[in-house]
Amino acid sequence: MKSGSKIRRITLRGHVFDEKHSLIARDCQIALNDLKAASVFEPLSPFDGPYDIALSLEDNRLVFRIQNAEAQELPTLVLSLKPYHRLIKDYFIIVQSYDAAMLNGQPSRIEAIDMGRRAVHNEGAELLMERLADKIEMDMDTARRLFTLICVLHSGKVHIQR
């Protein structure tokens, strides 16, 4: 990997943040901060980083708009989200369970929920790395954080049963 193989800035386009889900808000902020602080992200192109990324959902597809350090646009990447539907649904079930456990003051349940959240993130990260293998090199931590942001983008689109 080159020294500039990282994310300098990342934004979520078209996302209206819903503050009522504390786990989603926390996950989003942590993912954004961690991606800027330490990421391994190298598009397989002649453009050097660090990279600025804008993520958005368009027609049930994840869209990566990437610029290099000189503000040159890289080819836009578009991924179908169909393979992620179950994982995203599981993420929101976990969020609902977390909110309920926090409301009822159940610390042991929160720990179990957090383990489930990590497992969903790992599965989502592996899928993301697999699907982008011929376009972008990244490490597991970067992929986990990007998967978090995919879920965050869905937070305004998914209706959670209460």
- 83-134 pLDDT tens trace: 999 999 998 898 888 888 888 887 788 888 888 889 999 999 999 999 999 9
Residue 129 in tokens: 């790395």
Q: Is residue 29 part of a domain?
A: yes
Q: Which of 84, 37, 22 minimizes the C-alpha distance to 57?
A: 84
Find the domain containing 62 and state its range. Answer: 7-154
Q: Is residue 73 part of a domain?
A: yes
Provide the pLDDT confidence category of residue 24 given band limits of 50, 70 and 90: confident
Q: Is residue 2 part of a domain?
A: no
Residue 130 in tokens: 């697999």
Amino acid at the residue 161: Q
Q: Is residue 126 part of a domain?
A: yes
The pLDDT value recorded for residue 20 is 57
Q: Is residue 162 part of a domain?
A: no
What total of structural domains would you count in the chain? 1
Q: How far, CA to CA in Å, does 88 sit from each of 1, 30, 79?
A: 30, 18, 15
Task: Give the span between the Cα atoms of 15 and 32, in whole angstroms.
Answer: 14
